[in-house]
Amino acid sequence: MGKVRGAPLRSMGMKSFFNWSGGLKRAVRLIAFVLAAFALASLCGCSRGGDVVVDISGTESATASPTAEAAPVLTEEPTADPTAEPTDEPTESPVAEPTEAVQPAQSGRKVYLTFDDGPTKATPEVLDILKRYNAKATFFTVGRMVKANPDTAKRILDEGHVLGCHTQTHDFNKIYKSPQAFVSDVDDWRETVKNVVGYDAGAYVYRFPGGSNNASVGGKKGRGAYVAAMNEHGYYTFDWNLALNDAWLAGNKDHLPVKEYLWNSYLETYSWYKNVDPLILIIHDTRPESVELLPQVLDDLVAKGFTFGLCTELDGDYLM
């Protein structure tokens, strides 16, 4: 049997053997090629499982959709919402609320109304206006004017106002010769008030004609001797920080109507000294425009929350 099986192999011969083995090799190479092609095809198919988006700005993102959604979120929300809120709400409320809150903050503060150079024929109208506002004032009176208008001087006292001193003569050449000359003129004023009213009704408050800083008194350097001399006699002096400038119409450089100039002067001086205490307002009841403007000034002060005080409520000298 073994011989029979071995015979065919030998009978093929060398040429037939090589022909057969060559075909086998070609088959193996074909199978390998097919397998390689299949593997390559499978590999290419896997790369299409995700999309690569190339950004023309030079960056890449893993997916397209996050990039498309991110742009509106970052640009629209910060420019729409934050811009609208600061321009609408915060801008309006600071303008409205603090403005209203400032005026009540003046509540409890006083303005000291003072009237110089009277009493005059216009003073009764001033007293009528003050009565309507339940406001008290200090009248720095001139002795010769007290003598000329005795009924008005008495009314000032009867209605609860203060009769203060603005010297007897208001004569700069006389009163500013020396501190002693000033004191002597004030003594004459007090004697006049006693004679007119019937008792020593004059308060121990006074105002320098022209103010304590005027050139005739020697300005701030010269006024000290006058103030000291008056202090020895029990008097305190009061300058002012609010004014209508009704005794200084030369300041009306723009040639405004007198009442407009007086009102602007009041507003300007208030803006300068509104946070200063005490606030002392000087008005001259010798000018009809000042009397006409008085209710407007009082309305403004009341609206700001002020009440009105008398200079006799204050202690010491007040010098500008």
> Could you please report the per-residue DSSP string of 124-162?
HHHHHHHHHTT---EEEE-HHHHHH-HHHHHHHHHTT-E
pLDDT interval class at 108 (50, 70, 90): confident
Calculate what percentage of the chain has a pLDDT beyond 90.
66
| pLDDT tens digits along 199-229 | 999 999 999 999 999 999 999 999 999 999 9
DSSP annotation of 55:
P
Which fold does the domain 108-313 belong to in CATH?
Answer: TIM Barrel (3.20.20)
CB 205 within 8 A of CB 235: yes
pLDDT in tens, 153-198: 999 999 999 999 999 999 999 999 999 999 999 999 999 999 999 9
Mean pLDDT confidence for 117-128: 98
Residue 32 predicted with pLDDT over 80: no
Higher pLDDT, 232 or 3: 232
- Cis peptide leading into 119, omega within 30 of 0? yes
pLDDT, mean of residues 113-118: 98
The token duo for 45 is: 């198919």
Average pLDDT, the chain: 78
Of 95 and 20, the structure prediction assigns the larger pLDDT to 20
CA neighbor of 136 nearest in space, from 308, 256, 317: 308
- Pairing mode of beta strands 236-237, 53-54: unpaired
In angstroms, the CA 239 to CA 282 distance is: 8
Residue 17 in this model has a pLDDT that exceeds 60: no
Q: Which pLDDT score is estimated for 78? A: 34
Summarize pLDDT for 249-279 with one digit per residue, the tens: 999 999 999 999 999 999 999 999 999 999 9
